[in-house]
């Protein structure tokens, strides 16, 4: 920890805390999760080290960037990029009843989908997708984090059997203690999308028993009428009670409405004031299959990027 200067505590959990720190060498702000391994059982220790393993193999603009990890005197330290915009849960609460503009919802949702695609393509389940685990940078970019209970699958369609996650976001198959796969993450994604449109959880109850019943029935209050038919349709698809009827993340991204929203996100990435060149090319590599669906738009993005960054390229 001698490389870092502590600034303040920004979160705390059962086994540790999150500290905002500054790298002494270059002044870069980042977050360090301090996890007390001595207070954990073997299963929890394994989960913490698994988070390190999962994070270290994920490299995507919409996933919190892993920097390094180390252990000192019974404490595991995981260093990650700092997202100065807070989390999506806090942003939703700060709306104080004022509904989020639909364009903003689509923008956030498209970025979340791209992150989940990157995870699922690597045969990883997140297993705890919720608004508190979706972070915002100062520029408004979305980044998924907290992979503490992620599970790496041997096969994409392999079914896991451990009931885990946050109650409001649990899928019907999870609350019924049935095997589950990546479609449970898709259900949780639906819960987050619903939360952005209504500022409330889709399934709420005074106790766990009634919450489970509501989730199994899959009946939720309608979203406000100001939102479009397309948005309602996506929510309805993500909330299909049977996992077989729910789209995979790749099937969702192949839908025309999603391809349009993703193209908008990618176009924003190459504006003059956006991000560095290497981040654009990371986006390009990770989303080439979508861009290729519309070659004219792909060409337009490339030339926009070239024009806006010509002064950098010429150096």
Read off the pLDDT of residues 149-193 as tens digits, 9 standing for 90 and up.
Answer: 444 444 444 444 444 456 899 899 988 888 778 999 999 999 999
Per the listing, tokens 């041997």 go with 154
The sign of the torsion formed by the CA atoms of 213, 163, 245, 237 equals positive
pLDDT average, residue stretch 209-220: 91
Choice among 33-42, 235-244, 256-265, 302-311 with the minimum mean pLDDT: 302-311
pLDDT average, residue stretch 132-140: 90
pLDDT average, residue stretch 23-50: 82
Give percent of the chain above pLDDT 90: 40
Element (H, E) at 282: helix 277-286
Based on the residue annotation, tell me whether 121 is a catalytic residue of this protein.
Answer: no
Query: Which tokens sit at 20?
Result: 């905002």
Mode of pairing for the β-strands spanning 66-72 and 16-23? unpaired
Measured distance CA(153)–CA(164) in Å, rounded: 15
Q: Which has more confidence, 243 or 146? A: 243
Q: Which has more confidence, 244 or 291? A: 244
| For residue 141, pLDDT beyond 60 | yes
Structure confidence at residue 283 (pLDDT)? 60
Nearest to 239 by CA among 261, 217, 211, 259: 217
* 209 appears as a binding residue in the annotation: no
Residues 128, 185, 230, 268: which is the catalytic one? Answer: 128
The answer to whether residues 144 and 60 touch, using CB atoms and an 8 Å cutoff, is: no
pLDDT in tens, 71-90: 888 888 888 888 889 899 99
Q: Residues, the chain, total?
A: 315
| For residue 270, pLDDT beyond 60 | no
The answer to whether residues 187 and 250 touch, using CB atoms and an 8 Å cutoff, is: no
Q: Give the number of other CB atoms < 10 A from CB of residue 209.
A: 8
Measured distance CA(38)–CA(42) in Å, rounded: 10
Query: Which tokens sit at 137?
Result: 């940078």
| For residue 248, pLDDT beyond 50 | yes
Nearest to 120 by CA among 91, 162, 157: 157
Q: Which has more confidence, 250 or 54? A: 250
Structure confidence at residue 162 (pLDDT)? 46
Nearest to 49 by CA among 57, 37, 64, 31: 37
């Amino acid at each position: 920890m001698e490389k870092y200067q502590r600034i303040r505590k920004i979160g705390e959990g059962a086994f540790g805390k999150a500290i905002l720190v500054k790298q002494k060498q270059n002044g870069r702000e980042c977050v360090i999760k301090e996890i007390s391994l001595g207070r954990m059982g073997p299963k929890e220790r394994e989960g913490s080290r698994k988070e390190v393993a999962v994070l270290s193999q994920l490299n995507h603009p919409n996933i919190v960037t892993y920097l390094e990890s180390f252990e000192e005197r019974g404490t595991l330290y995981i260093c990650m990029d700092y997202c100065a915009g807070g989390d999506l849960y806090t942003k939703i609460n700060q709306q104080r009843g004022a509904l989020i503009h639909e364009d903003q919802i689509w923008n956030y949702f498209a970025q979340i989908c791209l992150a989940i695609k990157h995870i699922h393509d690597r045969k990883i389940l997140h297993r705890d997708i919720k608004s508190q685990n979706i972070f915002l940078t100062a520029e408004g970019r979305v980044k998924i984090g907290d992979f503490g209970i992620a599970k790496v699958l041997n096969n994409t369609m392999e079914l896991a059997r451990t009931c885990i996650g946050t109650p409001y976001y649990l899928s019907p198959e999870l609350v019924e203690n049935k095997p589950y796969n990546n479609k449970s993450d898709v259900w949780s994604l639906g819960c987050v999308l619903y939360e952005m449109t209504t500022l409330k959880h889709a399934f709420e109850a005074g106790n766990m028993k009634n919450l489970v019943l509501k989730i199994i029935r899959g009946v939720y209050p309608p979203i406000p009428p100001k939102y479009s038919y397309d948005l309602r349709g996506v929510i309805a698809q993500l909330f299909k009670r049977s996992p077989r009827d729910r789209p995979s993340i790749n099937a969702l991204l192949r839908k025309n409405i999603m391809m349009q929203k993703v193209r908008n996100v990618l176009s924003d990435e190459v504006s003059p004031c956006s991000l560095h060149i290497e981040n654009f090319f990371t986006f390009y590599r990770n989303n080439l299959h979508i861009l290729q669906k519309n070659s004219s738009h792909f060409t337009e993005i490339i030339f926009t990027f070239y024009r806006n960054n010509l002064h950098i390229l010429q150096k």
